Chain A
Amino acid sequence: MAKESDMSLFNDVLEPFRRVINTNPPKDKLSTASKLNFSDSNQSIKEGITNLFSIGKRKSSLGIGDVTTPEKRMRTESSSNATSAPPSPWETKRLKIDLIAAKAQITKLEARVNHQHTIRKEMQILFEEEKASLVEQHKRDERALSDMEDRLQVIRRREQELRDEFNEAIKEQHEAKANWDREKNELFKQIAELKDKLLESNVSSKDQLSEMKKDMDELLQALEGAQSEVEILKKEVTKQTSRAEQCVSLKNQLEKQTFELQQVTSKLKELEYERDSYKDWQQQAKTAQKRLSNMAELEKEVVRLRATERSLRDAVCNKLLLEEQVHQLNSRLEVLQPVQQELHEAKVKIASLEASLEEWKSSARNHGVESARALSSALESALTSQLAATAGCSQAQSQLAQITEEIATVKYERDKAAAKLNDLLTVRKNQESLIHRLQKRLLLVSRERDSYRQQLDCYEKELSVTLCGESGAGSAALLSARVEQLEKALQGYRDLVATHDHTTHTKLVDTLRAEVTKWREEAESLRRDVQKLRAQRDNLQVHMERLDTAPKTKVLHLTDNPAAVAQKQVQQDLEAAQEEIKRLKAALREGGSRDVSEETQKLRQQLESRDIKLKRMKEEFTSSAQEYRDVCYMLLGYKIDRTGHKNYRLSNMYAESADEYLTFTLCDDGIEMVHTEYSASLGELVELHLHQHRSIPVFLSALTCDLFTRTTMQHEVEDC
C-alpha cells in the first residue's frame, strides 16, 4: 500500500520534470532515459536529478548523449559545434531559467516527499499506539469476562445452597408440625386436669369466704370507730386551717399597710418639693407684677427710641454715601500719586539730560565739531580706525601663536639634538677609550716588535760572529751587549705584565667573587642533598637489615596449612555458588516466567479486589460522614465546616444569610471563638454567655433560639 502511494506521489512529483524536459528538444535521449527511470523508485529519481544536473552542466554538448571524461567532452563539444547549430543566448538563458525553476521544484518536491514520509511514519506510530491500546482493552475485557464468569459460578453455587436450605426448612417445618400436634394433645389433657382442680378449689374457697366475711364484719366495726376519730380530727384541722388563714390575711394586711406607708411618705416628699417650687413661683409672680407696673413708661421710651433710631438710620445712610465718596477719592489719589512721582522724576531727568547735553556740546565744541553730523562722522572714522586696529591685533596674535608653536618645535628638535649629541659623546668617549687602548696595544706591539728586531739583530750578529769564527774579547763584548738587550726586553715584558695585571685584576676579582658565591650556593645545595641521601641511606640500611636474613634462609611451611585449606574451601564455595546461580538462571529461563505471570495475575486480582474494597470503604465513609453531618445539622441546628487546621466554621440553620457564620479555633486549652463581623453584631449574647457563663453550647443554643424566634416572627408577620 505504502509503496503504491509512494509511487503515485513520485509520479505527481515528477510531472513537472517531464514538462521541463519536454521543453528541451535536444535532450531527448536523456529525457527518455530519465523518464524510464522515474517510474522505478526513489533512487531512480535521484539519478534523474543527477542527470538533469549533468544536462545543466553540459548545456551545449547535449547533441552527444555519451558520458565521457571532461576533456573528451570538450573535444566533442568543438566537433558538435561544427555539425549542429549552437544554441542562441536566449535559449541558454531560457534553459538556465528552466533549470533553476526545476531545481527549486526538485527541492520543494523532495521536501514534500520527506514530509509525506514523516506523516506516514507518524501515522504508523499512531496506528501502533492505537493497536497497543486496543490490545490492552481487549486484555481488560477478557479479564472482566473471566471475573464475570467467576461471579456467575458463585451465584449458581449460592442458588444451589439456597435450594438445599429451602428443602431442609420444609423438612424442619413438617417435623415441627408433628411436634406441635403432640404438644397440643398434652396441653388438652392438662386443661382437663386443671378444670378438675378448679372445681376442687372453688369448694374450698367458699369455706374460706364465709370465714373471711366474719373477719370483715369485725374489721368494719373497727373501721367505724376509726372514722369517728378521723372526723373529730378533721374538725380540729379545719379550725387550725381557719386560724392559719386569719394569720396569713393579717400578714398580708401588714404588708399592704407598710407598702401604703411607704407610698404616703413618698407622696409627702413630693408635696414638700411642690411646696418649695410653689414659693419660688410666688416670688417670680411678684417681680412680674412690678415689671407690669413700669409698662407705660416703657412704651413712651420705646416711641422715643424709635425716633432716635430713625434719625440714626438716616445718619448711617449719609455716612455710607460719604464713605463711598472718600473711598473714590482715595482710589483717585492712589492712582495720581505715582503719576506725580513720575512727573517729578521726569523733571529731574530732563534737568540732568540738559546738563549732560550741555557737557556734550561743550566737549564737541572743544573738539571742533559744531554739528551732530560732524560728530557722527568723526565717530565713524574713529570706529573704523579701531576696527583696523583690532584686525591688526588679531593678526599679530595669530602670528604670535605661530611663532610660539615654531619655538616649541624648535625646542623639541633641540632636545632631540641634545640627546643625540649626548649619545654621540658617549660613543665618542667609548671610541676614545678604544683608541686609547688600541694605542696602548700599538705601543706594546711596537715595543715587542722592536725587542724582536733587536733579538733578531743580535742573533744575526751572533751568527755572523760565529760564522766569522771570532772569539775572546769580542765575544765578551757581544755577550754583555746581548745581556743588556735581554735585560731591556725583560723590562719591557715586565711592564707589559704590569699593565696587563692592572687592567685584568679588577675583572678577575669580580669574576672570582661571583664564582665563589656560586660555588657556595652549590655547596649548600649539595649539603642538603647529602643530608637527604644520608637519611635515605639510613632508611635503606634499616630495610636491608630487615631483609638481610632473607637470602640466608629459605622459607618453609606445611602444605596443608589452615590458610590453604580456607582458600580451597572458599574456591569450592565460590564454584558451588556459581553453579547454583547458573542452575537458578536456567530454571528462571525455563519455568520462572510462567510462575511469575501467574503470580502477577493473582497479585493483580488481589490488587483489584483491594482497590474495589478501598473504593467502597471510601464511599461508605463519605456517605456516613455526610449522614453524620446532616444529622448534626438537623439535631443541633448548626452546620460545622472545617476551614483549615484547627479552624471550624459554624453556620446556623436559621441564619438569614450565608455571611452569618461563626468561626472557632481549637487551642491547647479548649476551643475559642474567633472575632468575625457576625460575632461583632451579637454583643449581648457574647457578653452574657461567653464572658459570664463561659459556655459555648449555651451561647450557641441561645443564638439558635434567638434566630428561630426572629425567623418565626417574620413568618408570622408575613402570614398576617
Chain B
Amino acid sequence: MSQQQTKNCITLRGSAQIICEYLKFAINSVLFQRGLYPPETFKAEQQYGITLLLSEDPQIKSFLTNLLTQSEEWIVNKKVSKLSLIILNVANKEVLECWDFNVQYEDGDITLSKEKNETVGSKDLKKIQQEIRDVMLQVAATISYLPFLDCRCSFDVLIHAKTDCDIPEKWAEAEPVAIANAQNVQLKSFTTSLHKMETVVSYKLSD
C-alpha cells in the first residue's frame, strides 16, 4: 500500500512542473505548426509517446525558460488564471491568433493531502501524459482549419495573473488583447488532479 501511495503521489510543485512542461511543448508546437520560424531551426524530440519539435533558436529558448520558471512559481502560488500565446502581425501589431491556456485549481486527493499535510494528487502519471498527448495531437491538427498567416508574424505570451501579484524584474503590465470577429475552438482539456488545463484557440475569421 505504502509503495502504491508514493507512486501515485503528485505534489503541487510536481503538478506545476507538468503544466509548464506541457506549455513549453505546446508553445513550441504552435510556433512550428504556424510557421512563425523556419522549420530548420526546430529539433525533433520524443515526448508523451509522440515526436514533438522544439526550437533551437537561443532567443526563443531563453525567453521560454524565463517565462516558464516564473509561471511555475505563480502556478504553485495559484496566482495565474490564464496564459495566452498571441500571434500578431509585426507591421501593424494586429492580433491574428490567440492560444489561451486556462489554468484551474483543483483540490486533488483530500484524504491523501490530510495524511501528507500538503495538497497532493493521486492521478496516474501515465494517464496524465496520455491526456496531454491527445491535446498535443489536436494542436497539430489545428493547422487544417486555421487561416494562413501571409505576413511577417511574431508572438508573445501574456499571463493573466491575480491583481495582488507582484511584478518582478524584466516583467511589465500589458494590455489585454481582443480579436475582432473571432472564432473560438475549444481543444481537449487535461487535469493533473491539482491543475486543470483547458486549451482554447481563437483566430480571426477571414471575410
Q: Give the interface of A toward B (CB within 8 A).
A: 549-550, 552-567, 570
Contacts and interface: CB of A to CB of B under 8 A. Distances in A.
Interface stretch (B4-12, B88-96, B138-146, B187-195): B88-96
A557 B84 CA distance: 10
Contacts of B59: 562, 565
Contacts of B162: 552-554
Interface string B157-175: 1111111010100111111
21 contacts: A550-B160, A553-B81, A554-B162, A554-B165, A555-B173, A556-B158, A556-B159, A556-B160, A556-B171, A557-B172, A558-B170, A558-B171, A558-B172, A559-B171, A561-B63, A561-B157, A562-B155, A562-B156, A565-B59, A570-B91, A570-B152
A35 to B, nearest CB: 77
B177 to A, nearest CB: 8
Residue of A558, A564, A566 with most chain B CB atoms under a 10 A cut-off: A558
Nearest to B184: A546
Given A562-B60, A563-B155, A567-B93, A555 B176 contact: yes
B66 interface: yes
Residue of B66, B90, B91, B157 with most chain A CB atoms under a 10 A cut-off: B90
Nearest to B79: A553
B172 A559 contact: yes
B158 to A, nearest CB: 5
Given A562-B154, A563-B88, A566-B154, A555 B160 contact: yes
Contacts of A559: 170-172
Interface of B: 59-60, 63, 66-67, 81-82, 86, 88, 90-91, 93, 152, 154-163, 165, 167, 170-176
Contacts of A549: 81-82, 160
B173 A554 contact: yes
A560 B81 contact: no
A555 B81 contact: no
A573 B14 CA distance: 44
What are the 3 tightest A-B residue pairs by CB atom distance, in nearest-first order? A566-B154, A563-B156, A553-B160
A570 B151 CA distance: 13
Contacts of A564: 156
A553 B176 CA distance: 10
A331 B163 CA distance: 150
Contacts of B155: 561-563
Given A556-B173, A562-B154, 6 more contacts: A554-B161, A555-B175, A559-B171, A563-B155, A567-B93, A570-B152
Given A549-B81, A554-B165, A566 B90 contact: yes
Contacts, number: 85
A557 B177 CA distance: 12
B90 A570 contact: yes
Residue of A555, A556, A566, A567 with most chain B CB atoms under a 10 A cut-off: A556
A677 B165 CA distance: 110
A552 B171 contact: no
Residue of B88, B171, B172 with most chain A CB atoms under a 10 A cut-off: B172
B82 A567 contact: no
Contact of A552 (B66, B81, B86, B152): B81
Contact of A555 (B63, B154, B158): B158
Contact of B63 (A552, A556, A558, A567): A558
Contact of A556 (B88, B93, B152, B161): B161
A383 to B, nearest CB: 107
A74 B162 CA distance: 97
Nearest to A565: B59
A562 B152 CA distance: 12
Contacts of B88: 563
Contacts of B157: 557-558, 561
B170 A557 contact: no
Nearest to A570: B90
A562 B66 CA distance: 13
Contacts of B171: 556-559
A486 B68 CA distance: 100
B170 A560 contact: yes
Contacts of A566: 90, 152, 154
A561 B175 CA distance: 14
A423 to B, nearest CB: 70
Contacts of A563: 86, 88, 90, 154-156
A553 B161 contact: yes
A568 to B, nearest CB: 10
Nearest to B74: A556
A137 to B, nearest CB: 55
Contacts of A562: 59-60, 63, 154-156
Contacts of B158: 555-557
A556 B174 contact: yes
A299 to B, nearest CB: 134
Contacts of B152: 566, 570
B156 A556 contact: no
B198 to A, nearest CB: 12
Given A562-B155, A563-B90, A556 B66 contact: no
Nearest to B167: A556
Contacts of B167: 556
A553 B82 contact: yes
A552 to B, nearest CB: 7
A585 B170 CA distance: 42
Contacts of B172: 556-559
B131 to A, nearest CB: 24
A560 B63 contact: yes
B156 A552 contact: no
Nearest to A564: B156
A557 to B, nearest CB: 5
Contacts of B60: 562
A563 B95 CA distance: 11
Nearest to A556: B159
Contacts of B165: 554, 556
Given A561-B156, A563-B88, A563-B156, A554 B163 contact: yes
A105 to B, nearest CB: 73
Nearest to A551: B163
A553 B155 CA distance: 21
A549 B157 CA distance: 17
A78 B170 CA distance: 102
Contacts of B154: 562-563, 565-567
Residue of B88, B152, B154, B157 with most chain A CB atoms under a 10 A cut-off: B154
